[in-house]
Amino acid sequence: MRVKTKRTRHHQTRRADIPAFFRAHGFHMLLALFVIVLVFLGGSSRYDRVVQIPVRLVAIATIAWACFRRLPNDLPSLRAPALLLGGAIMLVFVQLVPLPPAIWTALPGREDFAAAATLAGIAQPWRPLAIVPDMAVNALLALTVPLAVLWGLAGLDSRAREWVYPTILAVIAFALSVETIQLITGGQLVRAIYATGFDLQAAGIFANRNHQALLLAIGIPLATGWQVIRRSGNRGTIARWGVGLALVLLVMVLLATGSRAGLALGAVGLAGAAAIFLSWWGARASASKRKSTLLVFGALAIAVAAAIVAVASGRGEAVERLVGNDPSADMRARAAPVVVALAVDFLPFGSGFGSFDAVFRRVEPTDLLDTIYFNQAHNDLLQIVLEGGLPACLLLLGAIAWLGMATIRLWANRTTHVAVVRGRAASLALGLMALASAVDYPLRTPTMMAIAAALVFIVATALDHLRLARGERLA
């Protein structure tokens, strides 16, 4: 008979504690890994980049684990965004279902493709609605990222949810630091990861400087919301001053990014930051107003002054491009009528997600041929209609309506509760993303998709707080 010593029992206890630890914290560790992978590998929208593989594998693993976790029933406001995302996923699935030749050839915009089979002397095959099926599969896999974020965050308890907002701020701070280093060293860091061949001197954690500029722009209202939250609790003086400094750095680095759209979004972000502070300022006692007013508006004033100095010293590349001639912007403007005509030609069912490059090359005018890279419509709202047709248009309108109504509810309420302040800042950040999508395609990158989904979660959490507060008052 084997006698169990004290040391043996100790080792058995430690081995038993390991599964218990992973049961308690394993999902949180997976979400942390997801954030790390997104930050370092999720900044490119290109489907043929090897960095997409680990991002999607971790997203799928997160979804699989979330399936075995019990979802709380305290987030009814998250149902509408979840249904919209589910509708988008189902739409891509439907586009991949093979159709009989008689139906497929009758769809708008398929005439040239149907003629190819006739010229080749073969019978019309069964084909899915998506003209480029492999790209539609890629679009389906890309949607695993926002699905993993929404599903994963919904499975967290109330204490863990408190980390969502500061995690987004930490990602923005890291991107700000990376771009600062790139501006100093010449931008070799991200070029090694994404290898696009373009100048990535000020692209931060993205392969496109416009996407980096958007991230910095949404950081302005989010950082202001954090400062207001810290001030409401009368704690963290160093943290509050750090946020004030971050606001100044955000504006200065945003100018150096060289994104004209980012410059405009930064201006809107500054206005949103002022609105967040004023909504809090009006509900606070006068004793705490003076210090907070000096801190926030002082930081905003310094940021504007720094922007003026940057422009005067020739460091504001975005302003220089704004007043100068930008060939890429000119090409986007000239291509817009062609994209609109394509969208009309493929109504009501669209050309299939991921097919823009293929269908645009088919009708691209010769005067648009150039060395400039143009693989997207640079108007995601229009491209969604082109590729998804009327069903995608309805989903898009539903998303805009939900965000609009949520924003009105959050800003119409005068409470200064932490959840509501976060929701206001998140609603402004989502609005900036929507504006950016009208002139670019930021939400096609995994990192930006994940941040958008997290912001939607924050807004939904704020709406549920208002619902509970209203119920308590009525009771």
| pLDDT tens per residue, range 41-69 | 998 888 888 889 999 999 999 999 998 88
pLDDT in tens, 252-294: 888 888 888 888 999 899 889 888 888 777 665 444 545 555 5
Contact 244, 252 (CB under 8 A): no
Q: Is residue 5 part of a domain?
A: no
How many CB atoms sit inside 10 A of residue 239's CB? 12
Q: Which two tokens stand for residue 139?
A: 């679009």
The residue among 100 and 203 whose pLDDT is bigger is 100
Q: Which domain holds residue 163?
A: 18-331+370-474
Mean pLDDT to the nearest integer, 165-180: 93
Contact 146, 82 (CB under 8 A): no
pLDDT in the model for residue 469: 75
Q: Which two tokens stand for residue 181?
A: 């280093």
Give me the chain's average pLDDT, please.
82
pTM higher than the cut 0.85: yes
Q: Is 374 helix (H, G, I), strand (E, B) or coil?
A: coil
Q: Is residue 364 part of a domain?
A: no
**Total number of domains in the chain:** 1
Q: Give Cα 411 distance to the centre of its chain.
A: 22
pLDDT in the model for residue 286: 46
Q: Is residue 300 part of a domain?
A: yes
CA atoms of 441 and 149, how far apart (whole Å): 20
Q: Which two tokens stand for residue 38?
A: 């997104």
Considering the chain, what percentage of its residues have pLDDT values greater than 90? 42
Q: Is residue 32 part of a domain?
A: yes
pLDDT in the model for residue 287: 44
Q: Is residue 2 part of a domain?
A: no
Whether the per-residue pLDDT at 421 is higher than 70: the answer is: yes
Which sign does the torsion angle of CA 144, 145, 146, 147 carry?
A: positive
pLDDT in the model for residue 2: 52
Q: Is 313 helix (H, G, I), strand (E, B) or coil?
A: coil
Q: Is residue 379 part of a domain?
A: yes
Q: Which of 11-15, 59-63, 208-212, 357-361 has the highest mean pLDDT?
A: 59-63
pLDDT in tens, 319-355: 555 555 555 556 777 888 888 989 999 999 999 999 9
pLDDT in the model for residue 1: 46
pLDDT in the model for residue 303: 55
Q: Is residue 338 part of a domain?
A: no
Q: Which of 213, 218, 455, 201 is nearest to 319 (CA)?
A: 213
Q: Is residue 344 part of a domain?
A: no
The residue among 295 and 282 whose pLDDT is bigger is 282
